[in-house]
Amino acid sequence: AQSVTQPDIHITVSEGASLELRCNYSYGATPYLFWYVQSPGQGLQLLLKYFSGDTLVQGIKGFEAEFKRSQSSFNLRKPSVHWSDAAEYFCAVGAGRNTPLVFGKGTRLSVIA
């Protein structure tokens, strides 16, 4: 069965600094990988997804993520964080069509001035 680990429960960064959120997955075959963002009191919104091809994927709001098969990782990055990026971020892995995504426990991002 697939699983996802987000090692960092809470990260604080300064506005304008770069950001990297870590995600490690466990799955035997080629995974489908997703990053979602949840603002306070809201549902989850897709940031980006990877399923094949170029291992660096671009998403919304200036985010990108890189798939590294050798490290079983799919880390999320942003070159310059804005205060509005403060939210909770979830990494997820999917096995195939119509199967439930498995989510990590999330990383809460705080942004300070």
Q: Is 59 in the site for another protein (CB under 8 A)?
A: no
Q: Is 70 in the site for another protein (CB under 8 A)?
A: no
Helices and strands in the chain, H and E counts = 0, 12
Q: Is 11 in the site for another protein (CB under 8 A)?
A: no
Q: Is 49 in the site for another protein (CB under 8 A)?
A: yes
Residue nearer to another protein on the CB measure, 39 or 80: 39
Q: Is 35 in the site for another protein (CB under 8 A)?
A: no
Q: Is 86 in the site for another protein (CB under 8 A)?
A: no
Buried b (16+ CB within 10 A) or exposed e, 37-62: beeeeeebeebbbbeeeeeebebeee
Distances (CA, A) of 109 to 27, 37, 62, 72, 94: 26, 10, 16, 22, 24
Q: Is 28 in the site for another protein (CB under 8 A)?
A: no
Residue nearer to another protein on the CB measure, 57 or 81: 57
Which region, judged by CB under 8 A, interacts with another protein, from 11-19, 31-39, 56-64, 72-80? 31-39
Distance in angstroms (rounded) separating the CA atoms of residues 89 and 9: 10
Interface with another protein by CB under 8 A: which residues? 9, 32, 34, 36, 42-46, 49, 51, 90, 92, 94-106
